[in-house]
Amino acid sequence: MTILNSPRTAHTTEDVEYPESPPYGGDHDPAWADCTGTVYPEPIRSENAVHSLEHGAAWVLDTAVSVQSWARQLKVDTADDPRLAAFLRIYRMNPDITPEPGATCSNPEFASSPRGPDS
């Protein structure tokens, strides 16, 4: 598992060049991606996904078989790796590591019209 030390938490409407892919902390868009169980069939803008991580969300990406929470990332070889479930159990909505514990993950406007990486 990789951990970021003290990632920045500033809101910006600018594109952010994250040093890691997929990103799992840092400056991000003021609008968060809906993280109430929405499955996005197409990639969404990293800046919106990172904001959701700040709220306590955890994102599972099937293309890289990786899972991200705020300042933490785990990459595995297969989707049936038991460490994925353990990561989600420990880090999803964890108030001890989430900069905005208790913040909502609901954003129906984003869920209905998600911003893609090039928007």
- CA atoms of 54 and 60, how far apart (whole Å): 15
Q: What is the pLDDT of residues 76-105, one digit of tens each?
A: 999 999 999 999 999 999 999 999 989 999
Across all residues in the chain, what is the average pLDDT? 93
Helix, strand, or coil (residue 7)? coil
Does 13 score more than 80 pLDDT?
yes
pLDDT for residue 63 is more than 90: no
Helices marked H in the chain — which ranges? 46-54, 82-91, 108-112
Q: Write down the pTM of the prediction.
A: 0.88
Distance from C-alpha of 81 to C-alpha of 46, rounded to nearest angstrom: 25
Count Cβ neighbours within 10 Å for each residue of 25-64 and write b for 16 or more, e otherwise: bbbbbebbbbbeebeeeeebbbbbbbbbbbbbbbbeeeee
* Angle made by CA atoms 95, 113, 57, in degrees to the nearest 5: 15
